[in-house]
Structure 1
């Protein structure tokens, strides 16, 4: 346990290091999926590892100390007490971060759904009379696309088709679920923040590629993206919109080249990397249970 319990924490650094490279070399759809899965596995394993470290404090409870003293048994000390205390503190911080992410996502979802109230339940497109250019994909049953009149007015007809195809891709492929999953992973393990940012970019790239395929023109898709970013920047200096955020320049450059390869072998390697922390945590769990079973008869 002395080594295995730390494996998930170390491998999180490795996943963070390779995530940008995976995002550049693998198709956005595959890269987003495998990085999200690996991040969730790594975050769960690292959180479990912290829990294991905290559990080692059980040998410091008065009842256990008294019983061990009466029977003349040595108490287990798989990790230093200071490390266990820090693990408990980290778990408290993680709980707070997770709750904050959940509250933010729920509040955002409710706000966007309220904007769609009063529209026919079977209508996919909701146009809001707002002077600020916005475009959102709102997941749910049914999923909705909320676009402001300002955004539609700024785009040419072909570019509007790109915008709608982009937002439909978000809905069709459940990008909101992937985004929430990787956000929770990063909240549980701050080392995965880079992975979260990479997945956010990849989800937009994925939707860009779907839009380009739907309209059959990568140049028009790039032009629509550039125009949406431009009108958003003019309307709100220093703040880009959802459709036009996440490194617009890189997304436009990607649309001017051929789509990246699927590279399933790379995807499998990333998933394997995500599984390693789980294996390390499982091994550490077995070691701790055996140790406590030997030293604490009631376990």
Structure 2
């Protein structure tokens, strides 16, 4: 209890340090599939550890302490009172952060559903007349792809195929759910912020690789990325496929080389870092229950 309950915080830092390495070097689909569940498990273990630290304040309840001492039973204070109170405050902050994150996700999904409202059920592609270059996937049943006329006009025929294949990959592999999961994990455990950043980058790289495979030309895919980024830069807006983020040059550079390797050893380490906090949190739970049970017996 004295050590295991704090371990998820340390492992959060280790996972956040490993995430950028996977994002830069490993095959995107593998890295995203490993980091996302690892982040969710680590965040859940961290929150549960805070619950345990707050619950350990029960050991300081005067009647329990007095009864244990009068009966001559050994009494061990599992957590200092200051840490227990800090855990209570941290849980309140986590609840607030999660509430904000959930509201933001719901608001985004409602806005996307409104964009697809009124379209026939079998329509995958929605073209909107707009001078703003945008394109994005709209999750749902069925999923839709919305592209503005400005974006289509900025790209050649082969580059349009890249665009559609990229967005279709987002829908096929449910990247929206992956990003939502790591967003909520980072809201619950702010130490996992770098993991969320890595996963957001990885789902874009994942879709890039699927688009390159669909069109059969990595150079055309890189050119589509570059042209869309330049088009968005001229209009000063955020456009399709996260083309205007700071990672665009890394994505273009990755497409100009061969497909990234499957770094299974590093991926397994990341998965272990996500599983270990849950095991340690379970161990700390058993220790706390044992302490409280000994006091009440």
Using the size of structure 1 for normalisation, the TM-score is: 0.94
Matching residue of 2:189: 189
Note the C-alpha offset of 1:23: 1.4
Within 5 Å, which residues of 2 pair with 1:284-299?
A: 284-297=284-297
Q: Distance in 2 between matches of 1:240 and 1:122?
A: 25
Contact 1:76 1:295 in 2 (8 A): no
- Supply the RMSD in Å over aligned alpha carbons: 1.7
Q: Deviations over 1:74-112 (max 9, x none)?
A: 654101000000001001100111111111111101101
Q: Distance in 1 between matches of 2:133 and 2:90?
A: 41
Q: Distance in 2 between matches of 1:288 and 1:184?
A: 27
Q: Distance in 2 between matches of 1:263 and 1:225?
A: 26
**Which blocks of at least 5 consecutive residues in structure 2 are unaligned?**
none
**Which blocks of at least 5 consecutive residues in structure 1 are unaligned?**
none
Contact 1:228 1:243 in 2 (8 A): no
> Are the structure 2 counterparts of residues 164 and 241 from structure 1 closer, same or farther at C-alpha, using a change threshold of 3 Å?
closer
Pair 1:78 & 2:58 matched: no
Contact 1:134 1:243 in 2 (8 A): no
SS in 1 for 2:194: helix
Within 5 Å, which residues of 2 pair with 1:80-229?
A: 80-229=80-229
Q: Deviations over 1:172-220 (max 9, x none)?
A: 0010111001111111111110010011001100000000000001111
Using the size of structure 2 for normalisation, the TM-score is: 0.95
Q: Distance in 1 between matches of 2:56 and 2:281?
A: 15
Contact 2:183 2:196 in 1 (8 A): yes
Contact 2:125 2:146 in 1 (8 A): yes
Corresponding pairs, count: 296
Q: Deviations over 1:232-278 (max 9, x none)?
A: 111126x5554414411110000000111122232222111111111
Note the C-alpha offset of 1:73: 5.7
Note the C-alpha offset of 1:147: 0.8
Contact 2:59 2:78 in 1 (8 A): no
Q: Deviations over 1:136-182 (max 9, x none)?
A: 11111000001111111111111111000000000000101110011
Within 5 Å, which residues of 2 pair with 1:225-236?
A: 225-236=225-236
> Are the structure 2 counterparts of residues 240 and 58 from structure 1 closer, same or farther at C-alpha, using a change threshold of 3 Å?
same
Q: Distance in 1 between matches of 2:241 and 2:225?
A: 11
SS in 2 for 1:253: helix
Contact 1:133 1:150 in 2 (8 A): yes
> Are the structure 2 counterparts of residues 192 and 29 from structure 1 closer, same or farther at C-alpha, using a change threshold of 3 Å?
same
Matching residue of 1:14: 14
